[in-house]
Structure 1
Amino acid sequence: MDIEQTIRQMAQDAKTAAGVISRSSTDQKNQALLTMADLLEKRAQVIFDENRKDLERAEAAGLSEAMVDRLTVSEKTIASMAEGLREVAAYTDPVGTMGPTRIRPNGLRVSKMRIPLGVIGIIYESRPNVTIDAAGLCLKSGNAVILRGGSEALHSNRALADIIGEALNAVGLPAQAAQVVPTEDRAAINVLLAQEECVDLIIPRGGEGLIRFVVEHSKIPVLKHYKGVCHVYVDAPSDMAMAEKIAFNAKVQRPGVCNAMETLLVHEAVAGDFLPVMAKRFAQAGVELRGCANTCALLPDIKPATDADWPEEYLDLRLAVKVVESMEAAMDHIARYGSNHTEAIVTTDYKRAHRFLREVDASVVLVNASTRFNDGGQLGLGAEMGISTSKLHAFGPMGLEELTTQKFVVLGDGQIRE
Structure 2
Amino acid sequence: MDVLAACRNAKLASRAVRPLTRADKDALLLAMADALVDQTAVIVRANDEDVARGRAEGLSEGLVDRLRLDDDRVAAVAQALRDLAALPDPVGEVVRGERLANGLEVRQTRVPMGVVAMVYEARPNVTVDAAGLALKSGNAVVLRGGSAAAQSNAALVAVLRSVLSDAGLPPDAVTLIDGGGREAVKHLMTARGLVDVLIPRGGAELIRTVVEGSTVPVIETGVGNCHVYVDAAADLERALAIALNSKTHRPSVCNAAETLLVHESVAGSFLAAAIPALDAAGVTLHGDSQTVRAGLAAGIDVVAADDEDWAREYLSLDLAVRVVESLDDAIAHIDRWSSGHTEAIVTDDLTASRRFVAAVDSAAVMVNASTRFTDGGQLGLGAEIGISTQKLHARGPMGLAELTTTTWVVTGEGHVRD
Aligned partner of 2:318 in structure 1 is 318
CA distance in 2 between partners of 1:387 and 1:34 (Å) = 25
- 1:167 is paired with a residue whose SS is helix
1:361 Cα shift?
Answer: 0.5
- How far apart, in 2, do the equivalents of 1:57 and 1:284 lie? 31
Please report how far the alpha carbon of residue 59 of structure 1 lies from its aligned counterpart in structure 2 after TM superposition: 5.0
Q: 1:81 and 1:184, CA in 2 relative to 1: closer, same or farther beyond 3 A?
A: farther
Q: What amino acid maps onto 1:226 in structure 2?
A: G
Aligned position for 1:122: 118
Deviations 1:108-160 (A, max 9, x none): 34332111121111112223332222111110111110111222333333333
Distance in 2 between the 1:296 and 1:236 partners?
A: 20
Which letter maps to 2:318?
A: R
Deviations 1:28-74 (A, max 9, x none): 11222222222223333443454454455445545444444444443
Going from structure 1 to structure 2, the CA distance change for 1:54 and 1:266 (only over 3 Å counts) comes to closer
Q: How far apart are residue 96 of structure 1 and its match?
A: 0.7
Q: Is the contact between residue 222 and residue 340 of structure 2 (CA under 8 Å) also seen in structure 1?
A: no
Q: Which string of whole-angstrom CA distances, capped at 9 and with x for unpartnered residues, describes residues 204-254 of structure 1?
A: 222222222222322112222331111111222222222222122212222
Q: Residue type matched to 1:408 in 2?
A: W
Q: d(CA) in 2 for partners of 1:238 and 1:168?
A: 52
Of the structure 1 ranges 190-199 and 203-212, higher mean CA displacement relative to structure 2 is found in 203-212
Contact 2:63 2:252 survives alignment (8 Å): no
1:381 is aligned to: 381
**1:273-302, Cα deviation, whole Å (9 max, x unpaired):** 322222232222232222223444544453
CA distance in 2, matches of 1:368, 1:64: 31
Residue 9 of structure 1 corresponds to 5
Mark the CA change 1:134 to 1:57 in structure 2 (over 3 Å): closer, same or farther.
Answer: same
For these two proteins, the number of residue pairs brought into alignment is 414
Q: Report if aligned partners of 1:33, 1:167 keep a CA contact under 8 Å in 2.
A: no
Measured in 1, the distance between the counterparts of 2:235 and 2:63 equals 39
Gaps in structure 2 of 5+ consecutive residues: none
Q: Name 2:361's counterpart in structure 1.
A: 361
* Conservation of the 8 A alpha-carbon contact between 1:110 and 1:410: yes
Kindly report the root-mean-square deviation, in angstroms, between the aligned alpha carbons of the 2 structures: 2.2
Partner of 2:335: 335
Contact 1:28-1:171 within 8 A present in 2 as well: no
Aligned AA (2:143):
L
Structure 1 match to 2:138 = 142
CA shift for structure 1 position 339: 0.7
CA gap 1:323/1:42 in 2 versus in 1, 3 angstroms: closer
Which TM-score applies when normalising by structure 2?
0.92
Q: 1:197 to 1:248 in 2, by over 3 A?
A: same
Q: Which runs of 5+ in 1 are unaligned?
A: none
Q: 1:23 aligns with which of 1, 19, 28?
A: 19
Tell me which residue corresponds to 2:302: 302
Report the AA paired with residue 17 of structure 2.
I
Structure 1 position 319, deviation (Å) = 1.7
CA distance in 2, matches of 1:52, 1:344: 36
1:245 corresponds to which residue? 241
In the alignment, does 2:70 pair up with 1:74? yes
Alpha-carbon separation, structure 1, partners of 2:115 and 2:176: 13
1:185-214 Cα offsets, whole Å, 9 max, x none, are: 432111111101110111122222222222
Bigger shift: residues 34-43 or 350-359: 34-43
Q: Tell which deviates more after alignment, 134-143 or 53-62.
A: 53-62
Partner of 1:204: 200
Q: 1:39 to 1:284 in 2, by over 3 A?
A: closer
Cα 1:293/1:68, change in 2 over 3 Å: closer
